[in-house]
């Protein structure tokens, strides 16, 4: 595992749980608004060793409920499944954050997961534009279907940059994940971005977000706005 960093305690990243966060290195997408650009490229020297992480995790028994594995894109890691299994063996819950471009890896991980968060980058017709790479939309669809047909707690989520996504786009996203249990809109905050030009980008107003939520409510069971 290429570990790019560890946040030892979080009250926000795993719903209703106290967690540690593992940031894996490497991502196959190049979203301009990415707030972890330092993790995009894999390097030979990890910031944390796997052994060092598990030494830390063993010291947190009784203090943490679970572990969030995020990135980067964790499904790029060849050792991901074994890594998840080891966390479970110690007795922690596992939440996986993914962009959904590796449905086969996701399928193998599902039996060991307790929560999944998948990013929905855009409606299907704008996926390659927003991610800045060629996307096989069938892979995204497969991951959506795998998650929705599992018995695992999950959420879909979208980071909202006003200049990238229109009201019509959210109507299309609603159709893309129709019937989903939970969908979160995440306000874009330009604190750090892969594309420096997006440091001046904006997001929608609170009233605009409410309008978007009303577009989505007939199609998705629960929709929320994370400020």
Q: What is the pLDDT of residues 159-185, one digit of tens each?
A: 999 999 999 999 999 999 999 999 999
CA distances to 37, 97, 152, 171, 188 from 178, rounded to whole Å, are 31, 20, 17, 10, 23
- Is the CB of residue 24 less than 8 Å from the CB of residue 76? yes
- Is the CB of residue 72 less than 8 Å from the CB of residue 40? yes
Q: Please tell me the number of Cα atoms within 13 Å of 100 on its side-chain side.
A: 30
3-class secondary-structure state, position 185: strand
- Is the CB of residue 66 less than 8 Å from the CB of residue 95? yes
Tell me the pairing of strands 3-10 and 182-187: unpaired
Q: Which residue has the higher pLDDT, 39 or 113?
A: 113
pLDDT of residue 6: 95
pLDDT of residue 107: 98
What is the overall mean pLDDT for the chain? 95
Instruction: Taking residues 128-135, report their average pLDDT.
Output: 97
The full DSSP string for 114-155 is SEEEEE--S-GGGHHHHHTS---HHHHHHHHHHHHHSSSEEE
pLDDT (tens digit per residue) in 175-213: 999 999 999 999 998 888 999 988 899 899 999 999 999
Is the predicted pLDDT of residue 13 greater than 90, yes or no? yes
pLDDT of residue 44: 64
pLDDT of residue 27: 95
The pTM score is 0.95
Instruction: Taking residues 132-138, report their average pLDDT.
Output: 97
Confidence of residue 102 (pLDDT cuts 50, 70, 90): very high
What's the CA angle centered on 134, arms 126 and 144, to 5 degrees?
Answer: 65
Q: Which helix (H) or strand (E) holds 33?
A: none
pLDDT of residue 170: 98
Q: What percent of the chain has pLDDT over 90?
A: 88
- Is the CB of residue 169 less than 8 Å from the CB of residue 202? no
pLDDT (tens digit per residue) in 42-89: 776 667 899 999 999 999 999 999 999 999 999 999 999 999 999 999
Domains of the chain (ranges; CATH) run 3-226 (3.20.20.70)
Q: How many residues does the chain have?
A: 227
Is the predicted pLDDT of residue 225 greater than 80, yes or no? yes
Is the predicted pLDDT of residue 19 greater than 70, yes or no? yes
Is the predicted pLDDT of residue 35 greater than 80, yes or no? yes
| Exposure class string for 103-127: b at 16+ Cβ within 10 A, else e | bebbeebbebbbbbbbbbbbbeebb
pLDDT of residue 46: 65
Across the strands, what pairs with 70?
23
Tell me the pairing of strands 93-98 and 66-70: parallel
């Amino acid at each position: 595992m290429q570990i790019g960093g560890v946040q030892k305690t979080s009250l926000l990243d795993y719903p209703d749980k106290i967690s540690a966060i593992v940031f894996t290195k490497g991502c196959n997408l190049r979203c301009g608004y990415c707030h972890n650009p330092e993790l995009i490229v894999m390097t030979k020297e990890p910031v944390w060793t796997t052994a060092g992480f598990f030494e830390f995790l063993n010291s947190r028994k009784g203090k943490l409920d679970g572990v969030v594995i995020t990135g980067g894109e964790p499904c790029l890691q060849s050792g991901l499944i074994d890594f998840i299994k080891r966390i479970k063996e110690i007795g922690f819950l596992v939440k996986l954050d993914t962009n959904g471009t590796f449905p086969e890896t996701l399928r193998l991980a599902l039996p060991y997961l307790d929560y999944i968060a998948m990013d929905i980058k855009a409606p299907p017709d704008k996926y390659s534009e927003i991610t800045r790479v060629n996307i096989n939309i069938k892979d995204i669809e497969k991951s959506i279907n795998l998650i929705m047909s599992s018995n695992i707690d999950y959420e879909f989520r979208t980071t909202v940059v006003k200049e990238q996504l229109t009201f019509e786009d959210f109507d299309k996203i609603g159709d893309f994940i129709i019937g989903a249990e939970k969908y979160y809109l995440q306000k874009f905050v330009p604190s750090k971005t892969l594309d420096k030009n997006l440091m001046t980008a904006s997001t929608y107003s609170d009233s605009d977000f409410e309008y978007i939520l009303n577009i989505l409510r007939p199609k998705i069971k629960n929709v929320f706005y994370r400020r």
